[in-house]
Structure 1
């Protein structure tokens, strides 16, 4: 069963990569992925903290969520040690440099879903935009060749679960 899931994951990865490269979506994927870099989250949280009445709720939820998520992320990443697709396929050319050599779970996706869940919790009317953006971050990581689809699913799960755990603490 595990072999079948892994094979299906790799097949789906190949289809997504082929589609993205055929339609020249790599530059767009790079821009979307970059929008999920951590420093933007800090700018947003601090800006809302000072500029919006619900900013402290958002800031605290985001902070506690990342305090829970980061150790879990490092434990999972280093315990599972799944090789990134850009290193696993012979002759595969990824014009994108990943931050480390392991792929499961996707840290960018986990962080994006923490942000999306925090936005949804604090500003419910923005949930479609927040969730669409977070999903685009995950898909961009596949399009760049640095994650398999199951890495993205694991990142989504990690991000969503830690916010659910963090909310009662706020």
Structure 2
């Protein structure tokens, strides 16, 4: 249990450092827009565009991979039941209302890294832009006050692992 306490202490310290940044208000404002790009409906729109432009294998990988990712995400979310920063820290309120109760792992970050991995496999020229976007999604979730840093790190690993698995199986 000591290792989990150490991780949480590091997370709180890092989170507090992020919240104390001079330009946090501007980062939070930008974070809302970046976070919105990782909402589910935009992924469905992307899948439709890819389907109608002939990328059927990529869409199949994305649909099956997202199914795997969401199952694992829900198992982790309900298994760990880690409180969000607003519930875990005194005198702190997040800048948005999260869609669920628990913070570990970050679903937005997981989804963003999943999409970045999958799409960059088909369009390698977009690799840098996609991963920069995915990293910014993770950072936005921290600056919006709904996730601790390790929530986003594990989200990134979860999304990437699910994408790698599905591409390995289906491509």
Residue in structure 2 matched with residue 31 of structure 1 by the alignment: 33
Unaligned runs of 5+ in 2: none
Aligned alpha-carbon RMSD (Å) = 1.4
The answer to whether the Cα contact below 8 Å between 1:20 and 1:143 also exists between their aligned partners in 2 is no
Q: Residues 53-97 of structure 1: CA distance to partner in whole angstroms, max 9, x if unpaired?
A: 4x2122112111111111111010000000000221122122300
- Give the TM-score normalised by the residue count of structure 2: 0.93
2:42 counterpart (40, 64, 69): 40
Cα distance change on mapping 1:20 and 1:101 into 2, 3 Å: farther
Unaligned runs of 5+ in 1: none
Residue in structure 2 matched with residue 165 of structure 1 by the alignment: 165
Q: How many residues align?
A: 168
Residue in structure 2 matched with residue 102 of structure 1 by the alignment: 102
The alpha-carbon deviation at position 20 of structure 1 amounts to: 6.5
Aligned-partner SS, 1:117: helix
Distance in 2 (alpha carbons) for counterparts of 1:33 and 1:22: 15
Distance in 2 (alpha carbons) for counterparts of 1:88 and 1:156: 22
Distance in 2 (alpha carbons) for counterparts of 1:47 and 1:89: 42
The answer to whether the Cα contact below 8 Å between 2:62 and 2:115 also exists between their aligned partners in 1 is yes
Cα distance change on mapping 1:119 and 1:112 into 2, 3 Å: same
Aligned-partner SS, 2:136: helix
The answer to whether the Cα contact below 8 Å between 2:24 and 2:143 also exists between their aligned partners in 1 is no
Distance in 2 (alpha carbons) for counterparts of 1:119 and 1:92: 37
1:11 counterpart (4, 10, 13): 13
Distance in 2 (alpha carbons) for counterparts of 1:22 and 1:146: 14
- Give the TM-score normalised by the residue count of structure 1: 0.93
The answer to whether the Cα contact below 8 Å between 2:109 and 2:138 also exists between their aligned partners in 1 is yes
Distance in 2 (alpha carbons) for counterparts of 1:22 and 1:63: 36
